[in-house]
Amino acid sequence: MDNLSDEEIYNDRNRIEPFVKAITRNKHLFKDKIVLDLNAGMGLLSVLASESGAKQVIAMKANSYATEIMKLNNIQNAKLYNENVREVELNCKVDIIIAAWMGNMLFYGGCIQDVIYARDKYLNQDGFIMPDKGQLYLQSIEDSQYRKTKMNFWDSVYGVNMKWMKQWIAKEPLLESIKENQLNSDEQLIYEINLQTCTLKDLSFSNQYQVKIKRQDYATGVIVWMKYSFTYTHLPIHVIMGPTKSPYWKPVILYFREELPVNKGDKLEGSLAVKFESEELLQIKLSVHMQHYNYVSYFKLN
């Protein structure tokens, strides 16, 4: 929701509607509160926060249309800034921070660092963030056809030998969703983050997984997909960017070094480690163990 431009408001309803619901159906949270909107853009969410009873709205990264949108909706308690929250010194604390901090695989391409910065500097002790939770899930997949086609392509690209690329391609996680019938295990929660308390250090992790294979098949890798939640709302709002349908942020596909023959009931085990270098660079390490198969693969999302 980098700035909520007109094209985004018109096209990305899947991203915007959970925010709209979180604000407009939870007026009790906004009454007399000071709200900080980190990516105001045209000011849509700022207007809704104000109309929901906020005492004051501070809108960062507001674009040139926002002033007019405020006027048109008789919003008089919004302070608009073009700048990012790091570039401005605010002179008050806030009760609610609204921010689409999410990116692919939770953090990639998002703005989690801004949220942590704003929270530590401006959020009141009993204040909260919207959305305030994020989760990653992992599932095993069968995707050998696509992977093979994509890898073999480099053997001869219009007659040019580009085999050398294969080593790099293998390290590029795919940002793509997959077909339902390519999922061959149950899903497992592999990472969870609480925006209220997390530190920069928590954005890196190394966690074990163990998924149960559903059918006789090959496991070519895993898909990691995400969920984020507004839990301070009257009814919690959970938004799933799933493995087969992810209307905005994409899941990440990580291939094993080799495809593994698996049987129904097998337990595929391993670990997923993500090192958060920045919002533009995640280092990923995936290990997998099953019987005599033991592989470790390294990826870079940047």
69 binds its own copies (CB under 8 A): yes
Query: Mask 198-237, x = binds its own copies (CB under 8 A)?
Result: ----------------------------------------
Q: Kindly determine how many residues on this chain lie close enough to bind its own copies according to the rule CB under 8 A.
A: 31
Q: Are 114 and 86 in contact (CB under 8 A)?
A: yes
Which alpha helices (DSSP H) does 165-250 contain, by range? 166-169
Phi-psi region of 123 (alpha: psi -120 to 50; beta: other; left: phi over 0): beta
268 binds its own copies (CB under 8 A): no
155 binds its own copies (CB under 8 A): no
Alpha carbons 255 and 242: distance in angstroms, whole number:
18
Stretch that binds its own copies, among 32-40, 166-174, 245-253, 279-287 (CB under 8 A): 166-174
Least separation in angstroms between CB 77 and its own copies: 15
78 binds its own copies (CB under 8 A): no
Side-chain-side CA neighbours of 234 within 13 Å: the count stands at 9
Stretch that binds its own copies, among 17-25, 28-36, 194-202, 282-290 (CB under 8 A): 17-25
Stretch that binds its own copies, among 9-17, 99-107, 124-132, 266-274 (CB under 8 A): 9-17
Least separation in angstroms between CB 284 and its own copies: 18
Nearer to its own copies, 117 or 146 (CB): 146
170 binds its own copies (CB under 8 A): no
Alpha carbons 35 and 299: distance in angstroms, whole number:
38
Alpha carbons 244 and 275: distance in angstroms, whole number:
25
86 binds its own copies (CB under 8 A): no
Tell me the two tokens of residue 253.
Answer: 């596909």
Q: Are 135 and 227 in contact (CB under 8 A)?
A: yes
Q: Are 78 and 46 in contact (CB under 8 A)?
A: yes
Alpha carbons 7 and 86: distance in angstroms, whole number:
26
CA distances for 101 relative to 24, 64, 167, 188, 194, angstroms: 20, 22, 32, 23, 12
Least separation in angstroms between CB 162 and its own copies: 6
76 binds its own copies (CB under 8 A): no
According to CB under 8 A, which residues from 20 to 59 bind its own copies? 20, 24, 42, 44, 47-48, 51
Binding residues (CB under 8 A) for its own copies: these are: 6, 9-10, 16-17, 20, 24, 42, 44, 47-48, 51, 65, 68-69, 72-73, 150, 153, 157-165, 168-169, 172
